[in-house]
Structure 1
Amino acid sequence: MGREFLGLFEQWAGTYDTTVNGHDEEYKDVFLNYDKILTEVVKRSGKTVLEFGVGTGNLTKELLTAGKHVAGVEPSDAMREIAVSKLSGEAVITDGDFLEFQRPQNQIDSIVSTYAFHHLTDNEKEKAVEIYGSLLQSGGNIVFADTVFINQEIFSETVEKARQRGYYNLAQDLESEYYTTHTVMKNIFEKHGFHVEFTQMNGFVWIMEAVKQ
Structure 2
Amino acid sequence: MGKEFIELFEEWAKTYDDTVTGHDEEYKDVFLYYDQLLQEVADRATGNVLEFGPGTGNLTAKLLKRNLTVIGIEPSKSMREIAINKLQDKAKVLDGDFLNFQIDENVDTIVSSYAFHHLTDEEKSLAIEQYGKMLPSGGKIVFADTMYESVDAYQKAITDATEKGYHNLAEDLKREYYTTIPVLREIMRVNGFTVSFNRCNDFVWIMEGVKA
1:129 aligned partner = 128
1:210 aligned partner = 209
1:10 aligned partner = 10
Amino acid at match of 2:81: E
Aligned residues: 212
Residue identity over aligned pairs, in percent, reads 57
Amino acid at match of 1:113: S
Q: What is the alpha-carbon distance in structure 2 between the residues aligned to residue 113 and residue 94 of structure 1?
A: 14
2:166 aligned partner = 167
Contact 1:47/1:67 (<8 A) preserved: no
Q: What is the alpha-carbon distance in structure 2 between the residues aligned to residue 8 and residue 2 of structure 1?
A: 10
1:2 CA drift (Å): 1.5
Deviations 1:66-92 (A, max 9, x none): 110001100000000000000011111
RMSD in angstroms over aligned alpha carbons?
A: 0.6
Q: What is the alpha-carbon distance in structure 1 between the residues aligned to residue 113 and residue 48 of structure 2?
A: 17
TM-score, with normalisation over the residues of structure 2?
Answer: 0.99
1:200 aligned partner = 199
Q: What is the alpha-carbon distance in structure 2 between the residues aligned to residue 2 and residue 69 of structure 1?
A: 27
Amino acid at match of 2:178: Y
Alignment of 1:54-203 (within 5 A): 54-103=54-103, 105-203=104-202
Q: What is the alpha-carbon distance in structure 2 between the residues aligned to residue 48 and residue 115 of structure 1?
A: 21
TM-score, with normalisation over the residues of structure 1?
Answer: 0.99
Deviations 1:35-85 (A, max 9, x none): 111110011011210000010000001100111000110000000000000
Alignment of 1:44-59 (within 5 A): 44-59=44-59
Q: What is the alpha-carbon distance in structure 1 between the residues aligned to residue 150 and residue 107 of structure 2?
A: 32
Alignment of 1:26-37 (within 5 A): 26-37=26-37
**Structure 2 spans left out of the alignment, 5+ residues:** none
